[in-house]
Amino acid sequence: MTYENTKYGFDLNYPDDWNLKTIEDPFGTVARLFPNQKDAENIFVMIEVAKIDSNTSLEDYINLAISRILKYFTYLKLK
């Protein structure tokens, strides 16, 4: 399966047995992917779009993004 976002000009392949929900929220999330399995209700992938300052390193952005995610989704466990 392929998710295509024409607004931001990208596409992403994802497994056939996953569901796609397109959304827009204040955090820049444009879509969420999650498996069809009933026992995997807390597993999902968020697809976000963000404008990053050219002086921000990838490492700094990743750390900031993880911090922000954990602030709002306190039950998450990142692996």
- pLDDT digit string (tens) for the chain, length 79 residues: 999 999 999 999 999 999 999 998 887 889 999 998 776 777 888 898 888 889 999 899 989 888 988 888 888 777 6
pTM of the model: 0.67
* Structure tokens that stand for 38 in this block: 């009933």
Q: How many CA atoms lie within 13 A of 49 on its CB side?
A: 13
* DSSP state letters, 12-40: EE--TTEEEEE---TT-EEEEEEES-GGG
Task: Provide the pLDDT for residue 19.
Answer: 92
Cα(59)–Cα(73) distance, integer angstroms: 21
Q: From CA 65, how far away is CA 79, in angstroms rounded? A: 15
Q: What is the pLDDT of residue 39?
A: 67
